[in-house]
């Protein structure tokens, strides 16, 4: 009887020891998020407020306080909108990771995409079905080139992409917000006397319309889902995807296998830039309607978190992005308790810190299996 029991334990331990690498890949992000919520909850507690109450408001803010409200997508639509934006920047970072590059430049590419979309959205007055895809393609090309420039500097000049993309972020921010938006493309040039800052509104036909009454949710979410599917297929089912993964795993081996790694890197960063740019375009066409005076909200930087928490896979990125989309939307509910909505940055920051230190979490996870293994081994040793 006792032997039978320890046999079963041993079976579980063996399964764990065989599978722990794979399983922990999924466990690490989940544990990171849970621990992040706990640590952030302690911070709320420390300020004399109730974390349970805060998280309840967060949940209600994200999904609505009743099933009916949830189904009307009044609140849940907001989460999906934010999630869609985050999905696109997250995918951008994921594609770059796959080829072995770190795209910190998602923010800059996002801003370039936004301003290009704001411009074409204003001058185009085509039927939506033609106009909007055309804007997205143009945005993809421009911000794709902006992303590819960093990869070009890497392969031709040997400059580390982290530094160049950081610099390109600030070049984009300053040129757009301190020149284009206040200068040649300022709303005052088109509508003198207005009190608004930023660029003029895009034409009505260039805007993404809400899917139905009572929600702001629009086709943006479909754009994000289509992007996830396309990127999934590119990475997993095409020759380009094979070349991207080979380059990312071992650039020298890829070179010897005859892959043009430089070209692969530049193409990947083009795709990455295009995705971030389209994310910015969606923000303009689907949410803001124009480029406001100061815009940098960190969606590009958030993309890094989404990608990392999603294990740098397209599907994982999508799940992480939708999750944090809801958290961000729900955070406005916490403001009722006097907790600023930027509180989500704390949760996100902690989650990223834990993912960054994942070898620590893995170590603890593996320790459980090992200790049990030693214990049972001693137990069985005693039997003989």
Residues engaged in binding other proteins (CB under 8 A)? 43, 47, 102, 104, 153, 157, 159-160, 162-164, 166-171, 173-180, 182-183, 298, 301-302, 304-305, 308, 338-340, 342-350, 352-353, 355-360
Query: Distance between CA 111 and CA 278 in Å, rounded?
Result: 10
Shortest Cβ distance from residue 376 to other proteins (Å)?
29
Query: Distance between CA 367 and CA 362 in Å, rounded?
Result: 8
**Residue 159 vs 379, nearer CB to other proteins:** 159
- Output the CA–CA distances (angstroms, integers) from residue 308 to 28, 89, 228, 343, 377, in the order listed: 11, 12, 16, 20, 37
Shortest Cβ distance from residue 6 to other proteins (Å)?
34
Contact between 105 and 165 (Cβ < 8 Å): yes
Shortest Cβ distance from residue 90 to other proteins (Å)?
13
**Residue 20 vs 372, nearer CB to other proteins:** 20
Shortest Cβ distance from residue 39 to other proteins (Å)?
10
**Residue 264 vs 344, nearer CB to other proteins:** 344
Shortest Cβ distance from residue 312 to other proteins (Å)?
11
Query: Distance between CA 121 and CA 28 in Å, rounded?
Result: 42
* Residue 80 DSSP SS3: helix
> Which contiguous run of DSSP H or E holds residue 43?
helix 2-46
DSSP 127: -
Tokens of residue 24, six digits: 């922990």
**Residue 105 vs 314, nearer CB to other proteins:** 105
Query: Distance between CA 73 and CA 359 in Å, rounded?
Result: 39
The radius of gyration computed from the CA coordinates of the chain, to the nearest angstrom, equals: 24
Contact between 341 and 335 (Cβ < 8 Å): yes
**Residue 141 vs 159, nearer CB to other proteins:** 159
Shortest Cβ distance from residue 152 to other proteins (Å)?
10
């Amino acid at each position: 009887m006792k032997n039978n029991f320890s046999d079963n334990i041993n079976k579980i331990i063996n399964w764990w020891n065989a599978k722990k690498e794979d399983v922990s890949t999924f466990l690490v992000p989940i544990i990171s998020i849970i621990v992040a919520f706990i640590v952030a909850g302690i911070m709320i507690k420390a300020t004399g407020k109730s974390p349970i109450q805060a998280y309840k408001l967060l949940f209600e803010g994200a999904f609505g306080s009743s099933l009916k409200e949830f189904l009307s997508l009044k609140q849940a639509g907001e989460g999906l909108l934010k999630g869609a934006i985050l999905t696109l920047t997250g995918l951008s970072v994921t594609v770059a990771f796959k080829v072995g590059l770190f795209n910190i430049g998602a923010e800059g590419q996002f801003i370039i995409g936004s301003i290009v979309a704001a411009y074409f959205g204003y001058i185009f007055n085509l039927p939506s079905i033609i106009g909007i895809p055309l804007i997205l393609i143009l945005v993809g090309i421009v911000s794709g080139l902006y992303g590819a420039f960093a990869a070009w500097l890497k392969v031709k000049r040997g400059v580390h992409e982290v530094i160049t993309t950081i610099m390109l972020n600030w070049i984009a921010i300053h040129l757009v917000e301190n020149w284009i938006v206040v200068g040649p493309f300022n709303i005052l040039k088109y509508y003198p006397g207005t009190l608004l800052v930023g660029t003029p509104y895009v034409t009505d036909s260039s805007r993404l319309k809400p899917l139905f009454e009572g929600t702001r949710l629009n086709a943006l979410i479909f754009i994000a889902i289509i992007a996830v599917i396309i990127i999934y297929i590119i990475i997993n089912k095409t020759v380009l995807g094979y070349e991207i993964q080979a380059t990312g795993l071992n650039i020298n081996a890829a070179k010897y296998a005859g892959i043009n790694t430089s070209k692969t890197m530049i193409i990947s960063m083009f795709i990455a830039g295009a995705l971030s740019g389209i994310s910015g375009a969606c923000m303009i066409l689907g949410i803001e309607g124009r480029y406001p005076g100061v815009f940098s909200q960190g969606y590009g930087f958030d993309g890094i978190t989404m990608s990392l928490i999603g294990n740098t896979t397209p599907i994982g990125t999508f799940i992480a992005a939708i999750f944090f989309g809801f958290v961000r939307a729900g955070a406005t509910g916490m403001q009722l308790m006097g907790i600023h909505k930027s509180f989500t940055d704390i949760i996100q920051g902690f989650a990223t810190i834990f993912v960054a230190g994942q070898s620590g979490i893995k170590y603890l996870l593996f320790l459980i299996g090992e200790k049990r293994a030693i214990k049972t081994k001693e137990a069985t040793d005693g039997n003989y």
